[in-house]
């Protein structure tokens, strides 16, 4: 019984992947979202405790660490391109991080949400492990931040390419960076599977965004006491 949830998780992901292929590779049919919905439904319907599920699938979550480090490979290959665009990258990261934190807190406030929700929302654009760490530091609910980080990542993966293409932005550097900053690992994975230059800029976006959110989210939170 030890491996049953691991099998369910892998199987659901393969199904989600097949679904995306059946939809002609459409980013809207995101395999991560499909797998999460399917597995979550099975967990709820079978009345399983989330802790039991998490323990059995921790091997999959554990691989997130090495996979993040692995982003160094495309990053190193495109390092001179990154170097050439350093000022643009710096400004773009700042614009993306600040607009994400500011609008996240602002919109929750505008729509009558509680401060706790705003605190959980503030760091959600950072990659999940960073977002969770910052959330607990500023007084948010870490589990909620993790959920928001993943949902935001899926949203960015599903809509990012279309949105930027609509604005006639067709450069992989801009697509990769935007994916890494607005959608962290999930949107980055979507870009990384298609283009190496995009993967490098997405990796860069994840790293810099995590750093900036870690530094400025605590300051933004002071705005709403």
Residue 146 found at the interface with other proteins (CB under 8 A): yes
For residue 9, the minimal CB distance to other proteins (Å) is 5
Residues 186-205 that bind other proteins (CB under 8 A): 186, 188-190, 192-195, 197-199, 203, 205
Residue 11 found at the interface with other proteins (CB under 8 A): no
**Residue 53 Cα to chain centre, angstroms:** 22
Q: Which is nearer to other proteins, 54 or 225 (CB)?
A: 54
Q: What angle do CA 4, 19, 186 make, to 5 degrees?
A: 75
For residue 28, the minimal CB distance to other proteins (Å) is 14
Find, among 208, 220, 222, 185, the residue nearest to 70 by Cα. 185
Q: Which is nearer to other proteins, 179 or 221 (CB)?
A: 179
Kindly tell me the sign of the dihedral angle through the C-alpha atoms of 65, 89, 183, 142: positive
Residue 128 found at the interface with other proteins (CB under 8 A): yes
Residue 223 found at the interface with other proteins (CB under 8 A): no
Give the span between the Cα atoms of 99 and 122, in whole angstroms.
10
- Answer for which of 68, 119, 138, 140 binds other proteins (CB under 8 A) is 68
For residue 221, the minimal CB distance to other proteins (Å) is 14
Residue 93 found at the interface with other proteins (CB under 8 A): yes
- Answer for which of 18, 70, 219, 223 binds other proteins (CB under 8 A) is 70
Evaluate whether 212 touches 100 at the Cβ level (below 8 Å): no
Give the span between the Cα atoms of 32 and 50, in whole angstroms.
18
Give the span between the Cα atoms of 200 and 74, in whole angstroms.
5
> Any residues with CB less than 8 A from the CB of 136 and at least 6 apart, and which?
142
Residues 153-192 that bind other proteins (CB under 8 A): 153, 155-156, 159-161, 163-165, 167, 169-175, 177-179, 181-183, 185-186, 188-190, 192
């Amino acid at each position: 019984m030890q491996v049953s949830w691991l099998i369910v998780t892998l199987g659901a992901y393969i199904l989600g992947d097949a679904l995306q292929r059946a939809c002609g590779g459409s980013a809207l049919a995101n395999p991560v979202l499909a797998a999460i919905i399917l597995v979550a439904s099975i967990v709820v319907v079978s009345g399983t405790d989330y802790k039991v599920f998490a323990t059995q699938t921790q091997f999959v979550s554990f691989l997130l660490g090495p996979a993040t480090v692995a982003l160094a490979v495309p990053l190193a290959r495109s390092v001179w391109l990154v170097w050439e665009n350093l000022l643009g990258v710096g400004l773009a990261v700042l614009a993306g991080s600040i607009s994400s934190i500011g609008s996240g807190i602002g919109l929750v406030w505008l729509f009558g949400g509680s401060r706790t929700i705003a605190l959980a929302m503030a760091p959600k654009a950072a990659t999940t492990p960073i977002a969770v760490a910052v959330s607990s530091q500023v007084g948010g609910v870490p589990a909620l931040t993790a959920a928001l980080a993943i949902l935001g990542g899926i949203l960015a993966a599903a809509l990012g390419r279309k949105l930027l293409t609509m604005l006639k932005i067709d450069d992989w550097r801009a697509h990769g960076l935007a994916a890494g900053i607005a959608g962290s690992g999930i949107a980055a994975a979507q870009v990384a599977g298609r283009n190496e230059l995009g993967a490098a800029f997405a990796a860069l976006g994840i790293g810099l965004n995590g750093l900036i959110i870690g530094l400025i989210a605590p300051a933004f939170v002071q705005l709403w006491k």
